[in-house]
Amino acid sequence: MQWFEPYPLYISIMAFFILFLSIVLLKKPNNFVRILLSVILILSSLFMISTAIELYIDDFNGMQWLRNIQQIALFLCPVFLFGFAREIAEPNAEKSIKYMTYLGVPSVIGVILLFTNPIHHWMRSSVTTQTVWGLTEISITPTALGIIFISYLLFLTLLAVFTFIRNMHDLPSHLRTSHLLSSIAILLPLLSLCLLSSLSVKIPGQIALSFSMMSVLLIFIFKRYDFNSIWPVSRNKILESLDEGILLFGPKYNLLEINQAGYQLLKRWMPHLQENIIIGQRLDQLFTDRRIMEGVYQHISTSFEWKIELGDEDVYLQVNIVPIGYYGRDIMLVVLTDITEKKLIENRLYTLAHYDSLTNICNRHSFIEKYNAMMENKEISVSFLLMDIDHFKQFNDQYGHIVGDQVLKEFAVALTEFFMSAKYFSIVGRIGGEEFGVLLRKDAGQAGEQANLFQQKLTEHSIFVNGEQQEKITVSIGLTTTYEPISFEKMYKEADKALYQAKRAGRDRVEMINA
C-alpha cells in the first residue's frame, strides 16, 4: 500500500489540526469548560491518528493494538462530553468532576477488559480484517458483554445531549442555537453510523471521520457562541467595575463569590469582617433580614428595599435575588445596590412637596390630601380649626420680616407640640401666610375645648425679639365640625366664616359654625 493514500492522509491532517487546536485551548487564561473541550479534542485526535496508522499498516497484531488505543478515546470521550455539557449548563467544576468520576468507572473497566480480551474473550467474540477502498482495517464482533458496554457509551452520549437540551429551557432564544448545534455535533458519530448502515455504504475508519466532523463543529460552536471563554480574563474586571454588590451562594447557601463593592457593603454592618475569610460564609452569618433568607432558601426571584439602621445613620439598599442554574435550583445571585443617596433625595423632594419650608409642618397641598384621606372614614366626626395670628402685620412692620418669620416658626412649634401630642389623631398645617389649620377627630364640643386650651397655652409663651424684648402671641380660631364627608372647600369656607366672626368679636377667641 502506498504511504500517500488520500483518505488516511486526510484523517491524519485533520487529527493533527484538531490536536493543535486542543493545545491552543489549554493556553492561559482557561476555565474548566475549555479544559474539558481540549481533552475531548485530544481524545478525538488520538482516535483519528491511531485509525489512520491502522489503515496504513498491514501487521495484524499492530492493527489490534491500534484498535485498542482507539477504544480508550471511544470509551472516555462520552464521559468528557457529558462533563462538557454539564459544565456549560451549570458551572460547578467540583460537582462535574464528581459525576464524571462516577460515570467514568464503567468506561475504565471496559477499556481494561478490551486490553485483556485475548486472555478472557469477554468483550470480543472474533477479530478479523476487512478491506474497504483498498484499505485494510480491523473488523470486530462484540460479545453480549461488549454490547452492554457499547450501550452504556450510547447512554452517556445521549445524556450529554439531554443535558444541553434541558438547559435550553433556561436560555434566551438567541443563545439556544449553540446548545442545539452542540447536541447535533455530539450525535454526529451515531447519526453517521445509523445513516450509512441503512444505506449499506462502507467507509474505512468511518468513526474517525465522524469524530473529525464532531470536533470541528464543537470548535466552531465554542468560538462562535461560548461567552464563558472571555470570563477568566474579564471576570474580575467586570465584577470590580460594578457599583452593585454581587454575591453568589451555592447549593449549601455558602458564599461562592463576592466583588469588592459587595464586601464594602457588608462591612458597613459587620465592621470586623475580614476579606480573606468571607468566601464560604453561610447566608445566615452575613444577613439577618427575613426577606433575604426566604428569597435564597426558597429559590425565588424577589426585589425589595432594605433599610439598615446603623447608629445615627440609615442605609438603604435595593436587594435583588435571582436563582440561576438548572431551573434555579442550585446557585442564588444576590445583588445589593446602595440607594441611600437616592432615598435622601426622594425624602427631600417629598418634604419639599408636602411640608412648608419655613415652619416644617404640612403645606396647604399636603394638608388637603390628609383631609381627603380622613374623609374616607365616614364613621368619624372631623373638626377643622382655622387659625390666624392676631396683628401679625405689626410684627413685620415693627421688627421686619425676619422677626415675622421667627414668629411663624415659633407658633408652628407651639401648635405642633400641643395638638400632635393630643389624645386623638390630629393634623397640623400651614394654610398660607399667617393662617394655620388643625384637623381633629373630635366632635364640636371636644374640638372647642382643645382650641380654648391652646389659646391659654399661648398666653404662657413669649417670643424674644432682637434677643431682649418679649412679645406675646394670640390667635383667633374659627371652628367647624362635620359628621359626614364634605369637600375641603366647603369645610374651609365655613371655618373661614367662623374665623371672621372671631376677629370681629375682638380676636383671641374661638368661634364655631357647624358645617
298-307 residue pLDDT tens: 988 999 999 9
Residue 376: helix, strand or coil by DSSP? coil
CA dihedral 95, 153, 186, 330 (to 10 degrees): -20
Residue 402 clears pLDDT 60, i.e. is over it: yes
Domains located in the chain, CATH noted: 6-231 (1.20.1070.10), 242-345 (3.30.450.20), 355-512 (3.30.70.270)
**Between these two residues, 386 and 397, which has the higher pLDDT value?**
386
Distance CA 317, CA 476 (A): 48
Residue 1, pLDDT > 80, answer no
pLDDT of residue 233: 42
Taking residues 355-377, what's their average pLDDT? Answer: 90
Share of the chain above pLDDT 70, in %: 90
For residue 194, what pLDDT is reported?
73
Mean pLDDT of the chain, nearest integer: 84
Taking only the tens place, the pLDDT of each residue in 160-170 is 999 888 877 66
**Beta-carbon contacts of residue 264 (< 8 Å; ≥ 6 apart):** 245
Computed from CA positions of residues 145, 146, 152, 155, in that sequence, does the dihedral angle turn out positive or negative? negative
Q: What is the pLDDT of residue 365?
A: 92
**pLDDT (average), residues 387-396:** 86
Any idea which of 1-15, 19-33, 34-48 has the lowest mean pLDDT? 1-15
pLDDT at 425: 65
**Residue 226 binned pLDDT confidence (cut-offs 50, 70, 90):** low
Kindly indicate the confidence band of residue 480, based on its pLDDT and cuts at 50, 70 and 90. very high
Of residues 74, 45, 221, the one with CA closest to residue 157? 74
What mean pLDDT comes out for the span 233-244?
69
Which residue shows C-alpha cell 485533520? 14
Task: Give the span between the Cα atoms of 271 and 265, in whole angstroms.
Answer: 10
213 by Cβ neighbours in 10 Å (0-12 / 13-18 / 19+) ranks as: middle
Q: How confident is the model at residue 509 (pLDDT cuts 50, 70, 90)?
A: very high
pTM higher than 0.75, yes or no? no
**Looking at per-residue confidence, does 504 or 195 come out higher?**
504
Mean pLDDT of 267-286: 86
Residue-level pLDDT at 207: 81
> Which of 118-127, 144-153, 170-179, 471-480 has the least mean pLDDT?
170-179
Looking at residues 74-80, what average pLDDT do you find? Answer: 92
More confident residue, 251 or 258: 258
Q: Where does the pLDDT of residue 268 fall: very low under 50, low under 70, confident under 90, or very high at 90 and above?
A: confident
Instruction: Supply the residues annotated as catalytic.
Output: 434
At CB < 8 A and 24+ separation, what contacts does 100-107 make?
A: 103/79, 103/156, 104/76, 104/79, 106/149, 106/152, 107/75, 107/76, 107/78, 107/79, 107/152, 107/153, 107/156
Cβ-based neighbours of 470, under 8 Å, separated by 6 or more: 462, 463, 464
Residue 449 in grid coordinates = 375645648
DSSP state of 299: T
Q: How confident is the model at residue 450 (pLDDT cuts 50, 70, 90)?
A: very high
User: If 0-12 CB within 10 Å is exposed, 13-18 middle and 19+ buried, where does residue 388 land?
Assistant: buried
Q: Is the pLDDT of residue 199 over 80?
A: no
Residue 467's pLDDT band (boundaries 50, 70, 90)? low
Q: Which residues pair with 124 in a beta bridge?
A: 142
